[in-house]
């Protein structure tokens, strides 16, 4: 960002795609079931619809993102584990799905322990992404429901974090914890990472509780809360079973539209920053 400001703007634009580095976004919230994985996949696919080149990274040992593209994490032999721990080039574990997908496997559960004794343990993902970055416009990283070493690797490698929060069980305490982790990372490991936005998910217009949750979020986080709300619908549970994004499963439905609208908000925000 700092360097970009020093260059004449025309110079930046003259570069073909690829000469500029992609935006790396982590999806994080230490609470499970808030739609991190659903959002990673569907935002990735919504970007791809716009002609953007996207790499999705499954950094959760549960492998839900991998599964949601019809792959089986139990039978995958080489995964992000090998990339992080044995420095296998990430290209070798990228599967071509709706978007390019760096897969997880059950081994990844052992990565935190295996990494913990290595020098540079917080930067393993950042390093692994370096050689493939020029190929992509966006890298989206799905993280496990914890603030352990895998999530820290994602935050260190990212420019921004999108935080999905479930309107039903809003945990402000959880958000404060995540903010504390982020400021620790900014101080010690990656000064550039910031919250890109808070995304209300599982929004149910019929309940007062959902509307109150949004009010509380906006009171506490203001403009950081996306205007897009992801409504609660069973479609989200159906799509992954078919090994597809909601956008492919029901392309004209409201759920697909919601993620397209989120994609637009993220892209507009990125443009606004570029022209600032
Ligand atoms: N907007 C939504 N409405 C209803 N169910 C949803 C919605 N988004 C996700 N889900 C479902 O909720 C469960 C948890 O979502 P998931 O994306 O796996 O969350 P996380 O990755 O944060 O644990 C999944 O079964 C998913 O299909
Ligand atoms: Mg998940």
Segments making up each domain of the chain, as ranges: 2-275
pLDDT at residue number 1: 39
Rounded Cα gap, residues 266 and 276, in angstroms:
15
With a 6 A CB cut-off, is 245 part of the ligand 1 pocket?
A: no
Q: Which CATH fold would you assign to the domain 2-275?
A: Rossmann fold (3.40.50)
The residues near 229 (Cβ < 8 Å, ≥ 6 apart) are 167, 200, 201, 203, 214, 258
pLDDT at residue number 19: 58
In three-state secondary structure terms, 153 is helix
Best residue among 178, 237, 241, 246 to mutate for probing ligand 1's pocket (most ligand atoms within 8 Å of CB) is 237
14 C-alpha vs ligand 2 centroid, how far in Å? 38
pLDDT at residue number 14: 37
pLDDT at residue number 91: 98
Structure tokens at 215: 């009010």
With a 6 A CB cut-off, is 64 part of the ligand 1 pocket?
A: yes
φ and ψ of 47, to 5 deg? -65, -45
Query: What global pTM score does this model have?
Result: 0.92
With a 6 A CB cut-off, is 236 part of the ligand 1 pocket?
A: yes
70 C-alpha vs ligand 1 centroid, how far in Å? 16
* Selection from 23, 67, 73 nearest residue 41 by Cα: 67
235 C-alpha vs ligand 1 centroid, how far in Å? 10
Residue nearest to ligand 1 atom 24, measured at CA: 237
pLDDT below 70 — which residues of the chain?
1-19
pLDDT at residue number 225: 97
Looking at the CA of residue 142, tell me the nearest atom of ligand 1: 21
78-92, pLDDT tens digit by residue? 999 999 999 999 999
Q: 66 with 104: CB under 8 angstroms? A: yes
76's enclosing H/E stretch is: none
With a 6 A CB cut-off, is 159 part of the ligand 1 pocket?
A: no
pLDDT at residue number 276: 77
CA 36 to chain centre: 7
With a 6 A CB cut-off, is 249 part of the ligand 1 pocket?
A: no
Task: List for the chain the helix, strand, coil content (%; round to 5).
Answer: 50, 15, 35
Q: 185 with 157: CB under 8 angstroms? A: no
114-169, pLDDT tens digit by residue? 999 999 999 999 999 999 999 999 999 999 999 999 999 999 999 999 999 999 88
């Amino acid at each position: 960002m700092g360097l970009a400001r020093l260059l004449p703007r025309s110079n930046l634009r003259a570069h073909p795609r690829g000469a500029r580095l992609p935006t790396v976004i982590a999806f994080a919230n230490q609470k499970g079931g808030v739609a991190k994985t659903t959002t990673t996949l569907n935002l990735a696919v919504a970007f791809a619809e716009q002609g953007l080149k996207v790499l999705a990274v499954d950094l959760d040992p549960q492998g839900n993102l991998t599964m949601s593209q019809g792959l089986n994490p139990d039978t995958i032999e080489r995964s992000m584990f090998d990339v992080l721990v044995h420095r296998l080039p990430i290209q070798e574990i990228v599967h071509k799905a709706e978007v390019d997908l760096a897969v997880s496997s059950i081994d990844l559960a052992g990565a935190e322990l295996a990494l913990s004794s290595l020098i540079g343990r917080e930067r393993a993902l950042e390093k692994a992404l370096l050689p493939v970055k020029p190929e992509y416009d966006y890298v989206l990283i799905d993280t496990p429901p914890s603030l352990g070493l895998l999530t820290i690797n994602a935050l260190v490698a990212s420019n921004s974090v999108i935080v999905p929060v479930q309107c039903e069980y809003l945990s402000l305490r959880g958000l404060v914890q995540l903010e504390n982790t982020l400021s620790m990372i900014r101080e010690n490991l990656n000064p550039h990472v910031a919250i890109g936005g808070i995304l209300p998910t599982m929004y149910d217009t019929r309940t007062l509780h959902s509307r109150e949750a949004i009010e509380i979020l906006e009171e506490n986080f203001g403009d950081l809360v996306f205007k897009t709300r992801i409504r609660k619908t069973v479609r989200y549970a159906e799509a992954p079973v078919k090994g597809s994004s909601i956008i492919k499963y029901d392309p004209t439905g409201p759920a697909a539209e919601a993620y397209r609208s989120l994609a637009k908000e993220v892209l507009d925000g990125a443009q606004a920053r570029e022209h600032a």
